[in-house]
């Protein structure tokens, strides 16, 4: 009895069949795609302090994959295991390359929507939150009483109605009317000119008392909060409108602009919360002083994995993960199953053994 073994399938001679060669070539195409995306996915790390250092690392990984995959095809279980480890690394890197580029525009738009909603709420509630709305009401009342005071003085000098107006102003400004009062002027005479001059003199006196009251209550800072919040709202809405109309590519997306808006929001939010009258009635106010934009770190592994997990049910995320899985696992492993060399003594046959099927024996 003699054994007829084709030289193309000889394991001892390490000769590959044509199917194995084609399988290795086809798998290498996937490896090259993965190599490029691995370099892109590692680029933010600035390997070797260079924009291209990541591709040096990716090239080393590519050689390891080619070597381990060829060993796996030749029947080495250790080669297969080592290839799978390398494939896990390239899968992570490829996901970090595909995800920011494919999902980046929508992530930015989503973040802009969320951030502008927070800014809109801050702009709407800032005056109430800081208490400036109540201060403005007091200022308007003081202005009205000052007009009444000066009108009464012009008509009849410092009569009862004028004194009542002065006392009302003192009450509005928190003056006790005794130890702390608005200066009482003496009218030099009873002519109309005397009354007019005295009325005019009371204008800056009341204004000075009002300014002192404003300083005590930090009116300017609180008023600036509302103005700054409304300006931030205008800036955010303008940038969002430009983003939606412009259709920027991922590399042009305004990541720094988002963080700038978020930083301004955090600062204003902190001020608003600082002025929330802790001893008085609670004010309804929603603000996030620790707000962090969801696009911070976009392109890093930590952001990609966290964001991809959070949006796992999204069709776009599923598509990206599927593409990476196809490149790193499905195509190479399918080819491996089709063309791998079988161990001596294997009785498997059929289409799954195309790469390592032994020639039938013949007896003489």
Give per-residue pLDDT as tens, 121-156: 888 888 877 788 889 999 999 999 999 999 998 988
Q: Do 312 and 318 meet the contact criterion of CB atoms below 8 Å apart?
A: yes
Q: Do 134 and 217 meet the contact criterion of CB atoms below 8 Å apart?
A: no
What would the two tokens of residue 120 be?
Answer: 């809109």
Looking at the predicted structure, is the pLDDT value of residue 224 above 80? yes
What would the two tokens of residue 308 be?
Answer: 């991809």
Q: What integer pLDDT is reported at residue 88 of this predicted model?
A: 93
Residue 226 CA to residue 93 CA, distance in Å, equals 45
pTM, whole model, 2 decimals?
0.66
Looking at the predicted structure, is the pLDDT value of residue 116 above 80? yes
Lowest mean pLDDT among 122-136, 164-178, 234-248, 285-299: 234-248
Q: What integer pLDDT is reported at residue 206 of this predicted model?
A: 92
Q: What integer pLDDT is reported at residue 6 of this predicted model?
A: 41
Contacts of residue 317, Cβ cutoff 8 Å, sequence gap at least 6: 99, 103, 308, 311
Of all residues in the chain, what percent carry a pLDDT higher than 90? 21
* 295-305: average pLDDT: 86
Looking at the predicted structure, is the pLDDT value of residue 313 above 70? yes
Lowest mean pLDDT among 10-14, 165-169, 342-346: 10-14
What's the Cα-to-Cα distance from 259 to each of 173, 249, 256, 285, 310, rounded to whole Å? Answer: 41, 18, 5, 23, 21
Q: How do the domains of the chain map onto residue ranges?
A: 7-100+301-353, 104-128+221-274, 133-219
Task: Give percent helix, percent strand, percent coil of the chain, each to the nearest 5.
Answer: 70, 0, 30
What would the two tokens of residue 24 be?
Answer: 């290795």
Residue 73 CA to residue 69 CA, distance in Å, equals 6
**Confidence band (pLDDT; 50, 70, 90) for 246?**
low
Q: Considering the chain, what is the average pLDDT of its residues? A: 80
Q: What integer pLDDT is reported at residue 249 of this predicted model?
A: 53
Residue that wins the pLDDT comparison between 67 and 355 = 67
- Could you please report the per-residue DSSP string of 93-129? HHHHHHHHHHHHHHHHHHHHHHHHHHHHHHHHHHHHH
| Cα 16 from chain centroid (whole Å) | 52
Contacts of residue 362, Cβ cutoff 8 Å, sequence gap at least 6: 2, 4
Looking at the predicted structure, is the pLDDT value of residue 264 above 80? yes
Q: What integer pLDDT is reported at residue 156 of this predicted model?
A: 80
Looking at the predicted structure, is the pLDDT value of residue 289 above 70? yes
CA atoms 23, 27, 28, 29: torsion sign: positive
First-residue to last-residue Cα distance in the chain = 5
Looking at the predicted structure, is the pLDDT value of residue 39 above 70? yes
What's the Cα-to-Cα distance from 281 to each of 135, 163, 174, rounded to whole Å? Answer: 15, 33, 19
* 328-332: average pLDDT: 90
**Within 10 Å of residue 259's Cβ, how many Cβ atoms?**
16
Looking at the predicted structure, is the pLDDT value of residue 27 above 90? no
Q: What integer pLDDT is reported at residue 257 of this predicted model?
A: 82
Q: What integer pLDDT is reported at residue 3 of this predicted model?
A: 35
Q: What integer pLDDT is reported at residue 177 of this predicted model?
A: 65
């Amino acid at each position: 009895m003699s054994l007829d073994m084709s030289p193309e399938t000889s394991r001892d001679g390490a000769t590959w069949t044509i199917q194995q060669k084609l399988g290795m070539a086809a798998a290498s195409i996937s490896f090259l795609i993965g190599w490029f995306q691995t370099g892109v996915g590692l680029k933010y790390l600035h390997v070797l302090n260079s924009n291209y250092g990541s591709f040096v690392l990716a090239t080393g990984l590519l050689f390891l994959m080619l070597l381990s995959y060829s060993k796996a095809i030749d029947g080495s279980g250790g080669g297969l295991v080592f290839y799978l480890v390398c494939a896990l690394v390239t899968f992570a890197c490829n996901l970090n390359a595909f995800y920011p580029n494919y999902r980046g525009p929508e992530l930015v738009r989503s973040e802009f929507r969320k951030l502008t909603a927070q800014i809109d709420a801050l702009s709407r509630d800032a005056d109430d939150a800081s208490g400036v709305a109540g201060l403005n009401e007091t200022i308007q009342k003081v202005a009205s009483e000052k007009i009444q005071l000066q009108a009464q003085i012009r008509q009849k000098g410092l009569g009862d109605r004028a004194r009542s107006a002065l006392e009302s102003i003192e009450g509005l400004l928190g003056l006790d009317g005794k130890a702390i009062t608005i200066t009482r002027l003496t009218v030099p005479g009873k002519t109309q000119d005397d009354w007019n001059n005295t009325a005019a003199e009371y204008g800056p006196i009341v204004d000075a008392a009002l300014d002192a009251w404003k300083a005590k209550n930090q009116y300017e800072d609180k008023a600036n909060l509302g103005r700054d919040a409304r300006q931030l709202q205008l800036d955010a809405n303008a940038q969002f409108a430009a983003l939606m109309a412009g259709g920027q590519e991922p590399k042009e997306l305004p990541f720094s602009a988002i963080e700038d808006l978020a930083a301004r929001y955090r600062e204003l939010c902190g001020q608003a919360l600082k002025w929330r009258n802790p001893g008085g009635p609670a004010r309804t106010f929603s603000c996030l002083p620790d707000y962090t934009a969801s696009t911070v770190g976009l392109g890093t592994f930590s952001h990609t994995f966290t964001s991809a997990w959070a949006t796992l049910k999204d069709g776009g995320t599923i598509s990206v993960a599927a593409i990476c899985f196809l490149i790193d696992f499905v195509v190479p492993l399918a080819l491996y199953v089709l063309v791998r060399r079988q161990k001596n003594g294997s009785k498997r046959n059929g289409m799954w053994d195309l790469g390592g099927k032994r020639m039938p024996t013949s007896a003489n």
